Structure 1
Amino acid sequence: MTHDLTADIVADILSLVNHETSSHDLPGLAAGLDHLRDLATARLGPPDVRRRHRGDGHGDTATLTYTGTRPGHVALIGHYDTVWPTGTLTDWAPPAAGGRTKLGGPGIFDMKTGLAQGIWALKLTRDAGGPVPTVTFVFNGDEEIGSPSSRPIIERTAAEADATLVLEPSADGAVKTARKGTGTFTVTATGIESHAGLAPEAGASAVHALAEFVTAASAVAAPDAGTTVNVGLINGGTGANVVAGRATATIDVRVRTQLEKDRVDAELKAIKTSDPRVRIDIAHGWNRPPMTLNAASARLLDLARAAAQDHGHDLRDAAVGGASDANFVAALGLPVLCGLGAVGGGAHARDEFIYPDTVQPRTTLLAGLLTRLATWTRSPLLDLRSGVAGRPHPGALPPASH
């Protein structure tokens, strides 16, 4: 039986937290990725294939491949960027004392614990002396801003692997098998400026038209179908005594299905405002497609549940409103599970925390799943359904710096 490694794993988690990696701090991201790669090397040795893919204004993405002893190939995906501005660590308050022990820190739950657990899970698998799959880690530094540069690397790596495991935090211990698709819509109203007192009739208010639009847009939401519409930002006008010539709104949309995505697009496009002199332009910014439990992922979930049963635990699954890089993989029809990382709470909040007593059991679960995946291969038919033209060697990724 594996001795208690909680202290060692937690030490690695805290070392990652102490390297602040805001999505918008390129020097901090670079230093954080260097530390993460060094940590993987310290625990696992040098990877057989290592690449660093430039982020083009975002955090770089590193891919590290460790060759296994059996034919199975697993992609372990995790982002090292966080939503927290650099400097947050200096005034972070520890969790309140009392009750179950917690550990807090910027990014500890979302998702630096998952990164450390992924590295240690492969170490435990190898140390056990049983079958080991080939594992490709993908560490990306732009997930919190939509993965604009890392998405093609994630999709390519997932297409080459038999299964993809995303090390995002769990839903109170449950893995995540369904996530909403996300979109950020920018709505611009362009009217006609005029003096609000001397010639109000000559003006066409962009603000008034935008107010009509956002009211109608809010009605597009369908809570029973899981569709939410949130108008989070509004800007417009130049002065209280000027009929506004321009106004903008930023709208967050979440959907569970492609059907709802198409409906939202159509209904927003069909909205009319009362003053025909005001032009409404909508930038449809869908970022992540909806993630659903496809047939391939259902097989993978069964395998994860069997691994949990090996340790006397039941593994639940959950559907959540947030999106992750797993959405991209699921949209290809490939097997993927998300939420295999931390148990805790407070993502993107000042009370972000993990339960340290779950660190070793969660890591052991992941190690058990890796062992089972050493001899697990996906159906070749998936390559046809997802449009993936075969699976090259794990090292066959786009050119990048080493």
Structure 2
Amino acid sequence: MTVDTAPRLERLTRSLPSMLADLETLVRCESPTGDPSATSRCADAVAELGIRLLRSHPQRLEHGGAAQLRWRFGRGDRVLLLGHLDTVWPLGGSDALDGATVLITTDEEVGSSAARTLIQDEARRNQAVLVLEASADGGAHAEGEHVLASSMPERAALLAELVADLAGARP
């Protein structure tokens, strides 16, 4: 059976500007864990998006002095989708993305032969590189002075360090 994906792709393409606007809303809504007013503002933003996109109002719950949101759909309790709306950086920390480059390639699964020189050129331009998918061996890959962490714990630790450095949270 062949599935015609063209209509779905067309719908997603038409929706791209609004999806990017929604993403920008969420990215700009800083919500450090320890700042109840900031997390409350972020909960408001997430609730507004949820109401529009899911056509359902969330329950707003206060637990531990912080705003929580819960949507329930249908009958019964079959699946819990768990997410969070607090950020790892302090207020003003999203400004730390100034100077960041995001590179998305299309041939990583086959060794990045087409994008290799582009990746290497971009890596040389930047002070640090964070690769979001592990190498085939599961180990770190060194490229000049850049070490690319490839295991999930290595990536999480490196990302936390980079965010802290960029946000000025560490000396």
User: Unpaired segments of 5 or more residues in structure 1?
Assistant: 102-170, 174-318, 323-345, 352-402
The equivalent of 1:138 in structure 2 is none
Partner of 2:163: 350
- Residue 321 of structure 1: how far off its partner (Å): 3.7
Structure 1 CA distance, aligned partners of 2:43 and 2:152? Answer: 28
- 1:244-287 CA-partner distances (Å, limit 9, x unpaired): xxxxxxxxxxxxxxxxxxxxxxxxxxxxxxxxxxxxxxxxxxxx
Provide the C-alpha distance between the structure 2 equivalents of 1:88 and 1:72, rounded to a whole number of angstroms: 37
Q: Could you report, residue by residue, the CA deviation over 1:37-86 in whole angstroms, capped at 9, with x for unpaired residues?
A: 11000112124xx42221324x3221111327xx7832211011011001
Match of 2:25 among 15, 22, 45: 15
**What is the aligned counterpart of 2:94 among 80, 83, 89?**
89
Deviation at 1:24, TM superposition (A): 1.0
Say whether residues 1:54 and 2:62 are aligned partners: yes
Pick from 25, 29, 40: which aligns with 2:39? 29
Q: Does 1:79 align with 2:84?
A: yes
Mapping 1:146-157, distance limit 5 Å: none
Match of residue 278 from structure 1? none
Distance apart, 1:21 and its partner CA:
0.4
Offset from partner CA, 1:364-385 (integer Å, 9 cap, x none): xxxxxxxxxxxxxxxxxxxxxx
| Counterpart pick for 2:133 among 155, 164, 172 | 172
Q: Does 1:100 align with 2:104?
A: yes
Question: % of aligned pairs identical?
Answer: 20
Determine if contact 2:89/2:163 at 8 Å carries over to the other structure: no
Q: For 1:65, what is the secondary structure of its paired residue?
A: coil
Structure 2 SS opposite 1:60: strand
Instruction: Report matched runs for 1:139-288 at 5 Å.
Output: 172=133
In the alignment, the residues of structure 1 paired with residue 64 and residue 163 of structure 2 have an alpha-carbon distance, to the nearest angstrom, of 30
Give the whole-Å Cα distance in 1 for the aligned partners of 2:96 and 2:153.
30
For 2:44, the aligned partner's letter is D
State the Cα distance separating 1:9 from its structure 2 match: 2.1
Partner-residue secondary structure (3-state), 1:54: strand
CA-atom RMSD, angstroms? Answer: 3.3
- Establish whether residue 65 from structure 1 lines up as the match of residue 72 from structure 2: yes
Query: Matches of 2:83 and 2:159 in 1, distance apart?
Result: 15
Aligned mates of 2:104, 2:36 — CA distance in 1: 36
Paired AA for residue 74 in structure 2: T
In our comparison, the structure showing a higher alpha carbon Rg is 1
Separation of aligned partners in 1, 2:152 and 2:104: 25
Structure-2 residue corresponding to 1:214: none
In the superposition, relative to structure 1, how do residues 20 and 43 fare at CA in structure 2: closer, same or farther (>3 Å)?
A: same
Distance 1:94 1:53, change over 3 A: same
Higher normalized helix content (fraction of residues): 2
Which structure has more strand as a fraction of its residues?
A: 1
How many equivalent pairs are there? Answer: 109
- Contact 2:61–2:68 (CA under 8 A) maintained in structure 1: yes
Q: Secondary structure at the match of 2:60?
A: strand
- Looking at structure 2, the residues matched to 94 and 7 of structure 1 have their Cα atoms a distance apart, in angstroms, of 23
SS at match of 2:80: strand
Aligned to 1:84, the other structure's residue is in SS state: coil
Q: Secondary structure at the match of 2:51?
A: helix
State the Cα deviation string for residues 204-240 of structure 1 (Å, max 9, x = none). Answer: xxxxxxxxxxxxxxxxxxxxxxxxxxxxxxxxxxxxx
Deviation of 1:7 after TM superposition, in Å, equals: 3.2
Q: Indicate how the Cα distance of structure 1 residues 72 and 26 shifts in structure 2: closer, same or farther if over 3 A, else same.
A: closer
Q: CA deviation at 1:90?
A: 3.4
Larger relative contact order (Cα-Cα within 8 Å, sequence gap ≥ 6):
1
The verdict on how the C-alpha distance between 1:91 and 1:347 changes in structure 2, with shifts beyond 3 A counting, is: closer
